[in-house]
Amino acid sequence: MSMMKYTPRSEIESRIQRLQREIAELELDGAIITYHPDLFYFSGTSQNAHLFIPRTGEPLLMVKKSYTRARHESPIEDIVELPSLKKMPGMIEKAGYTDLGRLGFELDVIPYNTCLLYRKIFSDSEILDVSGAIKNVRLIKSPYEIELLREACSVIDEVYEDVPDWLREGMTEIELASLFEAGMRRRGYGGCCKMRAFNQDFFLGNVVSGTSGAVATYFDGPVGGSGLTPANNPHGAGWKKIKRDEIIYIDYTCVVNGYTADEARMFVIGRLPDKLTEAYRAALEIQREMVDLAKPGVECGVIYERAVGLADELGFGENFMGMGNERVRFVGHGVGLELDEMPVFARGVRMQLAPGMTFALEPKFVFPEGAIGIENTFAMQEDGAEVLTLANEEIISV
């Protein structure tokens, strides 16, 4: 992959029209979008900008920096330079939109002080939350988006094939991680994985070996890892040396052209203890069961309950998705421009699967001697879940 891809005009127009229908249902006069993943989704650019989408009519992209790149990247017709945020109401009015009584903002991600600033700038407007509407629109991916996600999955698949060539006894987790990450970067990974949740900073992924897999951390996932320091991103690969006969757990995102693949595979130098091998077979069985259940119209909570129940039946319930109080209460999550999108596969979630949803399923187990499991990225089709990540699912012994 050597060329940038720009979002087609037809994609942007379709997305904006879908959001305008949501805006009308909320009885808003328009929405202002500035959070990068949403901004990119609706405009095709991630520059420092504010996108005004009226209830009806054409959008206005107001760019603080870089105007030149935004003009090149976005198919939106009306793109103007924004010298100051205070100028936004006047610029929107100049574009022909004078009724701004009810304005939607991404209040789930905008900092409080920034929200206060918007209230001051749009002092004659009622500031309301449009985040739910945006998530509804982004939930169903177009064929174009699924193809971009498929490309990201093929990149990470290729890198997993290279792991046996890199892996050697005595190397540190961070050494292996750096080789894996470089392999993705060379193939087009932009180097940034977006998460919407507050304070869920995330690097690229996870390489942990043996007992490192049992080290818990802040991140809302089943497997932690020590990281390199408690100061910044205390998660994932650390300074531990990789030993023989212990599980090497590799779980990475791969973001290519904005879309996030998520895949985990297992490796060992030598031979694993029987208990971990049995747990891995259980993870594969749980994955098969979840995929068989994943059909349009099935509630996400039903799939979660079946996964938890099967983990209990197979004798590994106490170690499913973590240990003790560190266990997480989900088995899958949506993926797209962010790692933590809808749908979420958790207890009580009534959302029904539908064609166009994209998600990762990740049945995993954590023991004192290490973490083990499987994760794949899927696209929901009319007849069920299509797996997009295709790397070898066997535990690779070197």
83, 117, 138 — which closes off a domain? 138
Q: Are 346 and 356 in contact (CB under 8 A)?
A: no
Domain count, the chain: 2
81, 109, 138 — which closes off a domain? 138
**Same-domain check for residues 16 and 158:** no
At 308 the three-state DSSP class reads: helix
- 271 by Cβ neighbours in 10 Å (0-12 / 13-18 / 19+) ranks as exposed
**pTM for this entry:** 0.97
**Same-domain check for residues 287 and 303:** yes
According to the model, what pLDDT value does residue 1 have? 54
194: domain CATH number is 3.90.230.10
| DSSP-derived secondary structure letter, 219 | S
> In this structure, is the dihedral angle defined by the CA atoms of residues 276, 278, 282 and 287, taken in order, positive or negative?
positive
127: domain CATH number is 3.40.350.10
**Same-domain check for residues 145 and 133:** no
According to the model, what pLDDT value does residue 2 have? 52
According to the model, what pLDDT value does residue 138 have? 99
**Same-domain check for residues 154 and 130:** no
Kindly state whether residue 3 falls inside one of the protein's structural domains: no
Helix (H) or strand (E) segment spanning residue 217:
none
93, 109, 138 — which closes off a domain? 138
CA distance 302 to 315: 20
**Same-domain check for residues 109 and 145:** no
Q: Are 365 and 275 in contact (CB under 8 A)?
A: no
Kindly state whether residue 2 falls inside one of the protein's structural domains: no
**Same-domain check for residues 87 and 187:** no
**Same-domain check for residues 93 and 182:** no
**Same-domain check for residues 113 and 151:** no
> In this structure, is the dihedral angle defined by the CA atoms of residues 382, 383, 385 and 389, taken in order, positive or negative?
negative
CA distance 235 to 173: 12
**Same-domain check for residues 152 and 200:** yes
Question: 222-247 as b/e, with b when 16 or more CB fall inside 10 Å?
Answer: bbbbbbbeeeeebbbbbebebeeebb
Residue 22 structural domain: 9-138
CA distance 30 to 8: 23
How do the pLDDT tens digits run along the chain, 398 residues long? Answer: 557 899 999 999 999 999 999 999 999 999 999 999 999 999 999 999 999 999 999 999 999 999 999 999 999 999 999 999 999 999 999 999 999 999 999 999 999 999 999 999 999 999 999 999 999 999 999 999 999 999 999 999 999 999 999 999 999 999 999 999 999 999 999 889 999 999 987 779 999 999 999 999 999 999 999 999 999 889 999 999 999 999 999 999 999 999 999 999 999 999 999 999 999 999 999 999 999 999 999 999 999 999 999 999 999 999 999 999 999 999 999 999 999 999 999 999 999 999 999 999 999 999 999 999 999 999 999 999 999 999 999 999 99
End-to-end C-alpha distance for the chain, whole angstroms: 29
